Structure 1
């Protein structure tokens, strides 16, 4: 099976189901600032643009606004709580670990490109014992421009020593698809993530329902390049 030189993964909603812990941190923050909690199902559709965007969406959903100072304080509250509970309920999606093992054994370079802050991405992957799979983990604040800017993806490939011409992005959202398009790389979307629209509507090059399908999808993309 001919596979890409490099595969770059989104984190939340792609590799791991982190929505339960993100919901816990968000609702702790909402209680702290006196606003109503957000349902877990709704939080799944708010994830993907980083913690600040998540909090802003929750405040907007509550039908109100808060000033900059209050927002900054809420952001700090979220980060502190989430750092302490980053992997209480978060788990890898089914067949993720086996698929990562297979790809690495085939010599594929693996990286993570996430809009999570670097510290939280590192904490989460370390807590789950997953950091060793990846030659580069690049959070939103580790680059000048984060996803969907192409530079976030290209920086991840560069840190791996990978080949952008033989790289593939794997994600769950419009942000991930746009990132890949901006960088000129093929993209695989997962159907089980946190997209705000049906995954089929993301118009990725391939759509998978389970990570066990990923190697075949990657091979098909490389065969067409």
Structure 2
């Protein structure tokens, strides 16, 4: 039985950036392209990586805080359009799945656990990115940031994915690396797992987010689900 505390788990829903894929290098490259265009100092990977889950606005704030302060201003809009255009054209130059993701997805498949992606990434970028990664091709249910009228931390995108899978929300686990992921999962009535290996900054306080579990590698999820790395049932959680 795939279970947590003897409760059946029929599906695992994943965030994308910082959970399945390490997209920070390409997002950072887009940011530094704009820095060069506007004669701003480039931002180090050490600085931009923890912010990568916050999307274009969070990243642009690192170098263009004054311009981004007026969120609906012309400058902020233009910067975001330039960022997204460069990122769209260079979306998978350095992006890679986190180590262990391929094995995790295979084990879930063998254990007959359904899988979906729920991300705040715009659908245009999500659908452009996913085909580059063969291990993600089998994931047919993908809910992006603009699939619905609301996005995370609202629980509806998670509930929509569960509905598409035909699985009750209380039989789902949601895995993500941001506070909004844990909030959305809790509000959807799902077991929440914090991807501690993802994009978490020193200013974040993940211990206050209320995740049910934290994993430091993707494959640690199998232990939580009482599945071994070959997709066979294993002993209960220690």
TM-score by length of 1: 0.88
Q: Which residue of 2 aligns with 1:180?
A: 185
Of residues 42-51 and 183-192 in structure 1, the stretch that sits farther from structure 2 once superposed is 42-51
Structure 2 CA distance for partners of 1:157 and 1:13, relative to 1, 3 Å: same
Q: Following TM superposition, by how much is the alpha carbon of 1:162 offset from its aligned partner in structure 2, in angstroms? A: 2.3
Pair 1:167 & 2:172 matched: yes
Pair 1:215 & 2:226 matched: no
5+ unaligned residues in a row in structure 1: which ranges?
A: none
Pair 1:11 & 2:4 matched: no
Q: Which residue of 1 aligns with 2:67?
A: 65
- Match of 1:192, SS? coil
Q: Is the 8 A contact 2:40 2:63 kept in 1?
A: no
5+ unaligned residues in a row in structure 2: which ranges?
A: 4-8, 228-235
Structure having the larger proportion of residues in helix? 1
Q: Is the 8 A contact 1:191 1:200 kept in 2?
A: no
- Match of 1:65, SS? helix
Q: Which runs of 4+ in 1 moved over 6 A?
A: none
Pair 1:194 & 2:194 matched: no
TM-score by length of 2: 0.83
Q: Distance in 1 between matches of 2:144 and 2:35?
A: 24
Pair 1:124 & 2:129 matched: yes
Q: Distance in 2 between matches of 1:219 and 1:59?
A: 46
* Count of residue pairs brought into register by the alignment: 219
State which structure, 1 or 2, has the greater radius of gyration over its C-alpha atoms: 2
Deviations 1:39-93 (A, max 9, x none): 2122122222332343245422xxx225622222211111111112111111111
